[in-house]
Amino acid sequence: MKWKTIEYFPTLFHEFIWTEDEIRPLLEEVNAKKEAIKWKYLNEYAKDPEDRVDDYWTDHAGSVTLDEYNKLTEEVCNYWKPHLDVHLIAYWTAIYAKKGYHETHQHNPHPYETVGPNMSSVLYLSDIGVTQFYAPDQLSGDPDIFIQSEVGKLVIFPAHILHRAPPHMHDDKERIIISANWRIQEAYHGGFWQARDEIIPMSASQREFHKKEKPFS
């Protein structure tokens, strides 16, 4: 018996970085709405006092609207169009005090589903802490990746990648991030599909399938 391992497709992460001046309006908006975010955690996300912790808050159960964040994500969407259909599904803010952390998790365990998120993201609004990402193939032996928080840095990654936020040990500082889920896929009309079809013509059945299938909305 012969056996070998072949690596065909890499795991792609995408980084967008805004300057201090560009990210300042969002920082000011989040700071102004911080108490509203914490209220959401206490009254919607963790209604039962037994479920609450005193070093972590999030509005995951119903996010506080951040107009400045919506402007930034619109820039991301415009960057990828027209070759990709890009849809921001949901976002939420998370605030970590000293020792606050988020356990290992993933945003979508099925990367090939046709609905729901296939990409997730984290936007760092402080320079505190790291995000730890685990290799998608546990047999690869690849080491974990640690991405350092950096104000204004947005990291977009496949939603099925396991990751966590280890606790930070800063006494008087908070780690603040905005997490999000996206649906990003090739455009089905013109653009990438059209260009690729000129190189690799589709069969009649494939052409009929793509004619019927509609982009996620």
Domain ranges of the chain: 14-186, 188-217
3 state SS of 198: helix
Confidence bin at 1 (pLDDT 50/70/90): very high
Q: What percentage of residues in the chain have a pLDDT greater than 70? A: 82
Taking the C-alpha atoms of residue 200 and residue 33, their distance in angstroms, rounded to an integer, is 51
Choosing among 3.40.30.10, 3.40.50.12780, 2.60.120.620, 3.30.60.50, the CATH entry for 14-186 is 2.60.120.620
3 state SS of 122: strand
Q: Output the pLDDT for position 198.
A: 44
- Residue 149: partners with Cβ closer than 8 Å, 6 or more residues away: 124, 126, 127, 128, 129, 130, 131, 175, 177
Look at residues 128, 214, 122 and name the one whose alpha carbon lies nearest to residue 161: 122
Q: With b meaning 16 or more CB within 10 Å and e meaning fewer, what string describes 60-82?
A: beebbebeebeebbeebeeeeee
Find the range with the poorest average confidence among 54-58, 84-88, 210-214: 210-214
Compute the average pLDDT of residues 143-171. Answer: 94
Q: Output the pLDDT for position 70.
A: 97
Q: Output the pLDDT for position 195.
A: 41
Q: What percentage of residues in the chain have a pLDDT greater than 90? A: 53
Element (H, E) at 84: strand 84-96
What are the tens digits of pLDDT across the range 91-124? 999 999 999 999 999 987 555 555 678 899 999 9
What are the tens digits of pLDDT across the range 32-82? 999 999 999 989 888 888 888 889 999 988 899 999 999 999 999 988 887
Q: Specify the long-range contacts of residues 188-196, CB closer than 8 Å, at least 24 apart.
A: 188/85, 188/213, 188/214, 188/215, 190/82, 191/82, 191/83, 191/84, 192/83, 192/84
